[in-house]
Amino acid sequence: MTALRRLFFFVVGLFLALPLIVVAGVSINARQTLAFPPQGFSLSWYGQIFTNPEWRNALVASLTLAASSALLALLIALPLAWFLWRRIAPWANIFQLLGVAPFTLPPVITALGLLTFWATTGFYGQAWTAVISHGIFFVTLPLVTLSLGFSAIDRSLVEAAATMGADDGKIFRTVVLPLILPYLVSGYAFAFVLSLNEYIVAYMTVGFTMETLPIKIFNALRYGYTPTMAAVTVLFLVIAAVVFGLVARFGDLPKLLGAMSDER
């Protein structure tokens, strides 16, 4: 059984890794050819991401968009999750539902909704519209992690603080915030990585005026192949693995992903 299980894990792992191994391989080709196993060795395609103005601009645009939209998502999710935890207001759950909706529906729907909205209001193509669009699209992630974080708070702690005379603001800063900080960080991390990789919403809102890295790769694919695409893919994969690795290192990843009752 153990051998069979190992074999099964190996086959699934191979399926998941194979395209990435080939991409990593073609990213170090010496010349601009799509060849595997790689012919020669060169890291110049990785250098291209930072030295070629087009790729660098796309990288900066992607990082700026991801950093600011994840922050916006957090700013929307935090007071909402806090309110839902602090107050008895069943009707307010409608906003929880609205926060989860964009992520549950096929992304093309949110993208098209935002496209018609920005076109109607006349802001279509402005860079900041992408920040708001992504902030709304990814609000689900911090909302889910924060709801989990709040539900894990022992209410008697807060009760004690209140008995000692602390008001809501003080309780939030001194008791609640330190307790939910890990969930705040992981919510931001999830939103950041997903925004970095998101294509359709960014494309439909600012695709004609601004290039993020996924948009840049898609546009470049139409004119043929360059190993820089492979280098960017590897870079993004590494960023995601590092971020989620850190979340796992400093937080409880199985618990974050829903293994809540698991106290073994």
Partner 1 sequence: MRREPPQRLADYGPLFFPAGMLTVFFVVPFATMIAVSFFQREQGGFYTPAFVFDNYARFLSMFFGKVLGFSLFLAVAVAITCVVIGIPFTYLLSRSARKIQVVWLVALLSILSLSEVMIGFAWSTLFSRTAGVTNLFVWLGLMAQPQALTPSFGAVMTAMTYQAFPYTVLVLYPALVRLDPTLTEAARTLGASPVKAFFTVVVPALRNTILATLIMVFIFALGSYLLPQLLGRPQHWTLSVLITDQAIYQSNMPFAAAMAVFLVLVSLALVGLALYAGQQRQAK
Residue ranges in 202-231 that form contacts with partner 1 under rule CB under 8 A: 203-204, 207, 213-215, 217-218, 221, 229-230
* Among positions 165, 167, 223, 261, the unique one binding partner 1 when judged by CB under 8 A: 261
Q: Which residues contact 187 (CB under 8 A, 6 or more apart)?
A: 73, 74, 77, 141, 142, 143, 144, 145, 146
Contact range with partner 1 by CB under 8 A, out of 45-53, 63-71, 98-106, 177-185: 98-106
For partner 1, the closer of residues 19 and 47 by Cβ is 19
- For 44-82, give one letter per residue: b (16+ CB within 10 A) or e: ebbebbeeeeebeebbebbbebbebbbbbbbebbbebbb
For partner 1, the closer of residues 47 and 245 by Cβ is 245
CA angle 10, 12, 14 (to 5 degrees): 65
For partner 1, the closer of residues 178 and 257 by Cβ is 257
Give me the least distance between CB of 88 and partner 1, in Å please.
5
Q: Per CB under 8 A, does 200 bind partner 1?
A: yes
Q: Per CB under 8 A, does 106 bind partner 1?
A: yes
Q: Per CB under 8 A, does 177 bind partner 1?
A: no
Give me the least distance between CB of 50 and partner 1, in Å please.
18
Give how far Cα 118 sits from Cα of 42, 62, 187, 218, Å.
43, 20, 27, 23
147, 84 contact by CB (below 8 A):
yes
* Among positions 155, 164, 165, 167, the unique one binding partner 1 when judged by CB under 8 A: 155
